[in-house]
Amino acid sequence: MHYDIALLDLTRFPDANGNYGRRPLSYKILSAYISQFGYLAGVCTGALASLPELLSRLLTHHTVTLFGFYCDYDNLTEVESAIRYIKSHCTASVVVGGPQCRALSSGFFHRTGCDVVVIGDGEISLRSLLDHYTKHSPELQDIPGIMFTTPDGQCSTGEPDTVASLDDVPAVHRVHSLMGTTNTPDTLQLLTARGCPFHCSYCHEGGSLGIRYRSIPHVMDELRAEFRDRPGIKKVIFVDNTLTLNPSRIEELCDHMERLRATTDFVWACESHVHFLNQHASAVSRMVAAGLVKLQIGIETGSAKILRAYRKNITPAQIIDAVVAARDAGLPFLKTNFIIGGPHETWASIDESLALAKALVDIAPGRIEISSNYLAPYPCTDIARDPASVGLRILDEQSLTCFESMTYPVVETATLSKKDLIRARRYFDDALLSHMRERAASLAYPAIAKIFQYYYRYHLNSPWVDVFRENREVAAFFERVSLDGARPSYEFCSEALVDLRPVRTIDLEEVDEDEMGPSYHGARLDPIELTFLEYATGKLSNRDIWAVLRSKDLVAGESTDDFRLQEMLGKFIQRFWLAFVEW
């Protein structure tokens, strides 16, 4: 088989979920676009170490005109290594695109032997490049939006042409996988728009003069096709920089999502903005009703001064209002992040961030998800261009000391060294986790149950899951309730309790015996309680087990509404030791 282009998405190490690759969605879009013009793309997402095997297989059984790579701040050295290997083993040309490309210089061409770099939107440029390499027309210098080298040096052809409408990219397209997988089995990523109107000083993607949208029917055509092909999808992630820029468009999306969810069990998530939550609370409620389970908003810091340096155009008070609005709208999870080591960062501003983070936990315990990381000096951002103006000094421009950007400090401030920032992040994370544990202890049972239901049903992880799983009894209880069909006592009327079938959620093999009798993780059990728990396997009702206890002379003639039974059940329920089934 002949591939006009092999799009490779290779990383040295897997992510936290064990997946290699970074942006298979970009390759899917490019593959769909060029297919309209008769070009075939093969896509491979996998480990960089698999490249020799992949290339050998391709060169043995297929032919390839072009190799393509997506290049960003984190995978630049991986892309360079892959290109050098390809160039040393075959004569195919190599093209690179992605957000890093505007910052690539002649040194990149010299180190790798790369033929062409594409800047900006890549669809039209890639089609023209395929025409060039297969039909020998147009000439490279006539293709807008690319960089290449000539005997006289590096040549740039300016900004790219862009597709007139994002609906010009086919909504339904089957990706041809070369090796491995191009999908996370239970997760679908969708892009509904391009561009971002905000001007955050640490981000290279903002400041678009206009946002380009796909039509909602076009988006839904893709979504329905994906569900037909991949029935295991449980969550849809809209990866727009900010999905909620147009409230009327969100209303239209929600109408379609509600209809689809009537026959398909899934939830969805997206990115939003503090101002949207504050100005369109009813729209958030509408989104939740249509299956929205998680919103992500940018907060970055609790310091008003640093927020201004980031050009976030928000205040700590507005952030608090936004989290209140999300909670009141019934949003299950609200995700955000705090950057440690931003402009003008001091120990005082770290304390401001911690105070705000704790306040948000108090407002929405069990719902607010807060992470932390370090500032990354992304190329073509205002912070990277002039760090001194905001009190920063860049130590490692390419983040070569990080496995991934923002995971290790590569800048320092006027008052905080790299070591100080490491201590500051540890201080922030430890104090926040301690505060989450305090709030978790007082969280109502239904709220805890909802966290675990989303975790087991839709594979939605949350730092609150980790907090509650620190308690083995709670973790075992909710695993039983979420996976095995058992239900907590509060879902039944109290009068029915005696005829329900109890299901223990503790491991009786972990019961210890000593001179004081049996105990489970320090909780003493008398013979009646231990025997009751032994029979609590869902095979007998509470009434039946009480009869067994009478037959064993452990209880003498008491009725099933005796205070002793009610007290024992209450103890077990409070400790998360029992769930119940009806049949």
Q: Among all chains, which residue has been given the structure tokens 């609790």?
A: 302
Distance between alpha carbon 93 and the CA centroid of its chain, in Å? 34
pLDDT tens for residues 401-435? Answer: 999 999 999 999 999 999 999 999 999 999 999 99
pLDDT bucket at 53, cuts 50 / 70 / 90: very high
Residues 54, 44 contacting (CB under 8 angstroms): yes
Confidence of residue 558 (pLDDT cuts 50, 70, 90): low
Q: What is the pLDDT of residue 338?
A: 98
- pLDDT confidence of residue 204: 81
User: What is the band of 490 on the pLDDT scale with cuts at 50, 70, 90?
Assistant: confident
Residue indicated by tokens 């591939």: 3
Helix axes 418-440, 347-363, angle to 10 degrees: 20
The DSSP-derived string for 17-55 is: TS---S-HHHHHHHHHHHHTTT--EEEEEEEGGGHHHHH
Residue 299 has pLDDT above 70, yes or no: yes
Q: How far apart are CA 322 and CA 317, in angstroms?
A: 9
For residue 472, name the pLDDT band (cuts at 50, 70, 90).
confident
Arithmetic mean of pLDDT, 540-566: 82
Task: Work out the pLDDT band at 208, boundaries 50, 70, 90.
Answer: low
Task: Indicate the pLDDT class of residue 184, thresholds 50, 70 and 90.
Answer: low
> Is pLDDT at 364 greater than 90 in this prediction?
yes
* 300 bridge partner residues: 338
Q: Beta strand pairing status for 212-213 and 116-118?
A: unpaired
Asked whether residue 183 carries a pLDDT value surpassing 60, the answer given is no
The CA distance from 380 to 148, in Å, is: 20
User: Is the per-residue pLDDT at 16 higher than 90?
Assistant: no
**Whether the domain at 2-156 and the domain at 184-466 fall into the same CATH topology:** no
Average pLDDT over residues 216-245: 96
Residue 209: per-residue pLDDT: 62
pLDDT band at 15 (very low <50, low <70, confident <90, very high): confident
Tell me 487's DSSP state.
Answer: B
207 has a pLDDT exceeding 80: no
Please provide the DSSP assignment of 180-199 as one string. E-SS-TTEEEE--EE-----
Average pLDDT over residues 480-493: 80
Percent of the chain with pLDDT over 70: 97
| For residue 498, pLDDT beyond 90 | no
**For residue 433, which of 358, 380, 336, 341 has the smallest C-alpha distance?**
358
d(C-alpha 494, C-alpha 515), whole Å: 37
Q: In the predicted model, is pLDDT for residue 374 greater than 90?
A: yes
What pLDDT is stored for residue 513 in this prediction?
Answer: 86
Alpha-carbon distance of 376 to 325, in angstroms, equals 30
Do 154 and 106 meet the contact criterion of CB atoms below 8 Å apart? yes
Average pLDDT, the chain: 92
CA 63 to each of CA 6, 60, 259: distance values in angstroms, whole numbers, following the listed order? 10, 8, 44
Tell me what pLDDT residue 20 has. Answer: 84
List, for residues 18-32, the tens digit of each pLDDT value.
888 876 789 999 999
CB 272 within 8 A of CB 464: no
Average pLDDT of span 244-267:
97
Is the backbone peptide bond immediately before 247 cis, with ω within 30 degrees of 0? no
Asked whether the predicted pLDDT for residue 92 surpasses 70, the reply is yes
281-289 helix and 316-328 helix, angle to the nearest 10 degrees: 40
> β-strands 235-238, 187-190: how paired?
parallel
Q: Is 281 exposed, middle or buried (0-12, 13-18, 19+ CB in 10 A)?
A: middle
Scanning the structure block, which residue is given the tokens 């939550």? 277
Flag whether pLDDT at 561 surpasses 70.
no
The residue-averaged pLDDT of 513-527 equals: 87
- pLDDT of 310-327, one tens digit each? 999 999 999 999 999 999
Contact by Cβ (8 Å): 445, 488: yes
CATH of domain 184-466: 3.80.30.20
Predicted confidence (pLDDT) per residue in 97-123, tens digit: 998 898 998 899 999 999 999 999 999
Picking from 47, 212, 220, 58, the residue whose alpha carbon sits closest to that of residue 123 is: 212
Q: Whole-model pTM?
A: 0.91
pLDDT at 466: 95
Instruction: State the CATH architecture for 2-156.
Output: 3-Layer(aba) Sandwich (3.40)
* pLDDT of res. 479: 86
> Which pLDDT score, from 0 to 100, does residue 370 have?
98
Decide if pLDDT at 560 tops 70. no
Q: Where are the domains of the chain?
A: 2-156, 184-466, 473-581
